[in-house]
Amino acid sequence: MKSIFTAVLLFLSYANTFAQKPSFKPLLDPKSHAGCYIESGNKIIGNLSEEDSLGKNITLFNLYGKDEDFHEIKGSKKYPIGYSNGKASIFIRQTATRKEPNSCLEYQLYKVKLVVKKKAYFYTFRGFCGC
């Protein structure tokens, strides 16, 4: 019985090691200007207000060690804003907004769904929009 318990613990620790949740890393170049940003630990992890060379809306995220463009895709009813880069899809929903008095800053609460290889991961981040 003791060996079965030990085997189960070893299996769970092994599975946990290789099934870790992907993490959003701080942007190397957040391209700060008027727009909306997602933060984690006071570092910008997402720029929601960029445009590509054709003028289409894109976002910037760093999931794999470099800043990557995510192009707009159709969202869902629960997550109305969607972006994809071919390797991953990110769906975003704003859940709360607080306007800063005497300023054009608005603080947001974002619910984020990251889909990688048909597996979904869920996050909650703070962010802001400014002029």
pLDDT in tens, 94-108: 988 899 888 889 999
Query: For a pLDDT cut of 90, what percent of the chain falls above it?
Result: 63
Average pLDDT over residues 69-95: 94
Q: Is the dihedral of CA 82, 55, 128, 30 positive or negative?
A: positive
Token pair of 95, please? 């859940």
Contacts of 72 (CB under 8 A, 6+ apart): 56, 57, 58, 82, 83
Residues 15-37 as b or e (16 or more Cβ within 10 Å = b): eeeeeeeeebbebeebeeeeebb
- At 103, phi and psi to the nearest 5? -150, 165
Average pLDDT over residues 2-6: 63
Report pLDDT for 103. 87
Provide Rg for the chain, Cα atoms.
18
Report pLDDT for 94. 92
- What is the residue extent of each domain of the chain? 22-130
Report pLDDT for 104. 86
- At 18, phi and psi to the nearest 5? -95, 0
Q: How much is the pTM? A: 0.80
Cα distance between residue 106 and residue 95, in whole Å: 13
Check pLDDT > 90 for residue 6. no
